[in-house]
């Protein structure tokens, strides 16, 4: 190619760049704008995270259950609402196709959708136990599996919303704690598997915070007419429900959880776990429980370690962080 033709070719390319950039911007797509999928965005941490992250410059694919919930995001140009029930594979597949067709790619997934099911483990109907696991544990598994190729391509982030209830539990909280304890194990395994693709996996671990998850649980129990009148644990369950009614709506600032979610998506070296609690006592509780379990594992067998050996292990683990 002679110099004259090269000159005109370079001129044509240079003139096209602004046109391509304009067309890209017209679609509302910024070249450096990261896209994040968040499930359960009609309320609670999901809604607050969507509002906060779009203000920070992210584009959010907001999972909702129906058209009425989708209307929440109708006026936000940086949100695309997706009808996305995490228990329905057809809706998940449709969401994957839509995100792929839009061409933005996907940098992060925040598995936030969750519910609370209350009841004693020896009395809970199997359908209720199934519902708890279907949403809180199988939901993140389904969503992450479906969107994993896109996250791997972008070397992105996966954030799973767990709970301190996944570390310690009490009467009537068993099903919820099992779902979150399972999410802990799932996330640890996923982190190990995704490391080879430079994808980070984090758990956000809230204590009690002021969201509507407790209220939703109470409303559902009332709608079902469930009083636990015939339960052998009636007193304990009623105490739990009274606590939920009075405490969950007046607990920690949920924006602290939202900021932890944002940190898991933006920190240069994201942490495996982000504990978000509102007091020193609440921070000590899950750590004490994990230490209590370690002591139980070390108790009365042929390889039990003495106090000095346990302290050395603690020092080694601290040095690894």
Residue-wise DSSP of 35-46: EEEES--SSHHH
Q: Tell me how far CA of residue 23 lies from CA of 18, 19, 155, in angstroms.
A: 9, 6, 26
Spans of all domains in the chain: 15-278, 280-321
Q: Tell me how far CA of residue 13 lies from CA of 17, 21, 24, 26, 126, in angstroms.
A: 7, 12, 16, 20, 64
Instruction: Decide if 164 contacts 286 (C-beta within 8 A).
Output: yes
**For residues 144 and 9, what is the distance between their CA atoms, to the nearest angstrom?**
44
Instruction: Decide if 274 contacts 164 (C-beta within 8 A).
Output: no
Give catalytic residues, as residue numbers: 176
State the pLDDT at residue 185.
98
Q: Residue 109 is inside which H or E element, if any?
A: strand 108-111
Provide CB contacts within 8 A for 152, sequence distance 6+: 194, 197, 199
DSSP code for 269: S
DSSP code for 208: S
**For residues 36 and 235, what is the distance between their CA atoms, to the nearest angstrom?**
43
**For residues 271 and 183, what is the distance between their CA atoms, to the nearest angstrom?**
16
Provide CB contacts within 8 A for 282, sequence distance 6+: 164, 207, 208
Which pairing describes strands 200-206 and 59-64: parallel, antiparallel, or unpaired?
Answer: unpaired
How many residues belong to the chain? 321
Homologous superfamily (CATH) for 15-278? NAD(P)-binding Rossmann-like Domain (3.40.50.720)
State the pLDDT at residue 2.
57
Handedness of CA 56, 59, 65, 68 (dihedral sign): positive
Strand-pair partners of 157:
108, 200
**For residues 46 and 162, what is the distance between their CA atoms, to the nearest angstrom?**
13
Radius of gyration (C-alpha) of the chain in whole angstroms? 23
Instruction: Decide if 150 contacts 104 (C-beta within 8 A).
Output: no
**For residues 133 and 130, what is the distance between their CA atoms, to the nearest angstrom?**
5
Which pTM does this prediction carry?
Answer: 0.86
**For residues 72 and 184, what is the distance between their CA atoms, to the nearest angstrom?**
31
pLDDT tens across the length of the chain (321 residues): 555 444 444 444 444 444 434 333 434 445 589 999 999 999 999 999 999 999 999 999 999 999 999 999 999 999 999 999 999 999 999 999 999 999 999 999 999 999 999 999 999 999 999 999 999 999 999 999 999 999 999 999 999 999 999 999 989 999 999 999 999 999 999 999 999 999 999 999 998 755 555 556 666 666 666 678 889 999 988 888 777 766 665 567 899 999 999 999 999 999 999 999 988 999 999 999 999 999 999 999 999 999 999 999 999 999 998
State the pLDDT at residue 242.
79
Provide CB contacts within 8 A for 40, sequence distance 6+: 46, 63, 86, 112, 113, 114
* Distance from chain centroid for Cα 291: 25
């Amino acid at each position: 190619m002679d110099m004259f033709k090269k000159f005109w070719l370079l001129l044509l390319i240079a003139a096209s760049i602004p046109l391509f950039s304009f067309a890209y911007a017209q679609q509302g797509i910024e070249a450096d704008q990261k896209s994040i999928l968040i499930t359960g965005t009609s309320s609670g941490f999901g809604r607050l995270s969507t509002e906060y992250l779009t203000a920070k410059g992210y584009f959010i694919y907001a999972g909702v259950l129906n058209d009425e919930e989708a209307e929440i995001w109708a006026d936000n140009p940086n949100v695309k609402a997706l009808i996305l029930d995490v228990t329905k594979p057809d809706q998940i597949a449709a969401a994957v196709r839509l995100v792929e067709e839009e061409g933005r790619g996907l940098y992060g997934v925040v598995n936030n959708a969750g519910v609370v099911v209350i009841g004693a483990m020896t009395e809970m109907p199997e359908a209720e136990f199934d519902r708890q696991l279907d949403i809180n544990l199988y939901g993140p598994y389904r969503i992450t599996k479906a969107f994993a190729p896109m996250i791997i391509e972008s070397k992105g982030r996966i954030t799973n919303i767990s709970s301190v209830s996944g570390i310690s539990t009490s009467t009537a909280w068993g099903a919820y704690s099992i779902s979150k304890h399972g999410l802990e194990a799932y996330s640890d395994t996923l982190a190990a598997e995704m490391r080879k693709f430079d994808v980070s996996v984090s758990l956000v671990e809230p204590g009690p915070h002021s969201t509507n998850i407790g209220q939703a649980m109470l409303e559902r129990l009332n709608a079902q007419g469930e009083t636990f009148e015939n339960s052998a644990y009636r007193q304990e369950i009623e105490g739990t429900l009274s606590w939920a009614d009075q405490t969950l709506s007046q607990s920690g600032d949920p924006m602290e959880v939202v900021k932890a979610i944002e940190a898991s998506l933006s920190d240069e070296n994201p942490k495996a776990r982000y504990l978000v609690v509102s007091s020193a006592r609440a921070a000590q509780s899950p750590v004490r429980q994990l230490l209590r379990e370690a002591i139980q594992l070390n108790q009365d067998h042929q390889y039990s370690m003495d106090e000095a050996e346990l302290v050395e292990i603690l020092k080694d683990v601290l040095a690894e962080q």
